[in-house]
Structure 1
Amino acid sequence: MAPREVRVSWRPPPPDQTHGTILGYYLGYAPVIRKVGAGSPPQYNFTTVESSESGRGGVESEGIWTVSLDDLEPHTDYQVVVQAFNTEGAGPLSPPAAVTTREDGEWRLHAPPVMSVATLELGLG
């Protein structure tokens, strides 16, 4: 793993919570800015991971999706979120996970290694 790269893995929501076929995911990431009194939400940069897109991610064993984010700053803390989408629109963001890029190419994950998008609610009425 390069110093400017992290690998993000997540499980899709259960089929009974998807309100249709999942077409892909929005993967958001933002550097963690530590300022005294800062209360504004992170401004995520989003990339789209389509379910049929090769090279950007895919299903691994037991339905776990994995994508690498690159061009990140070395030795920097980031928050990462995942959001599923279908023909009806996008579901809610997952809870954020924290990752840290390393100067030596290593990284550590401060949250469970597989994020869940289990509370997906699509089909806004």
Structure 2
Amino acid sequence: MDELASDNNNCKEKAGSSICEVLQILGAKWAFLVLEELLNGPQRFNQLQRNISIVKTQSLTDTLRHLEKNGLVLRKVFPTVPVTVEYSLTEKGSDFQAALKEMDKWVQKWGNPVQAIESAGKTL
């Protein structure tokens, strides 16, 4: 995530920019997908990985750590054998749902029409 650190440093130069602040909090490339998936409820790592199969294991780990560090995701460890770890959204993470809905509206209106047609064909 060295690229992320570099981007965050560049962002700090634009002090006061709310977009930069959002990017620093969310940070990771796959953060939006992880947050959207966790809106469905708490999930274990392997469950998340299956549901977001486009994200590689290390990237998912890094994204979850970053979101946890920034207070959007809660990591709960259960003392089982083997240890069970479950991820869920905090209140701060759940509150991001409104922003995700607005992004969804925007992409429905302005997204790639070819991709939208392909997606519609898959759901029929």
TM-score by length of 2: 0.25
Please state which structure has a larger fraction of its residues in strand: 1
Q: Which has the larger radius of gyration?
A: 2
TM-score by length of 1: 0.25
Please state which structure has a larger fraction of its residues in helix: 2
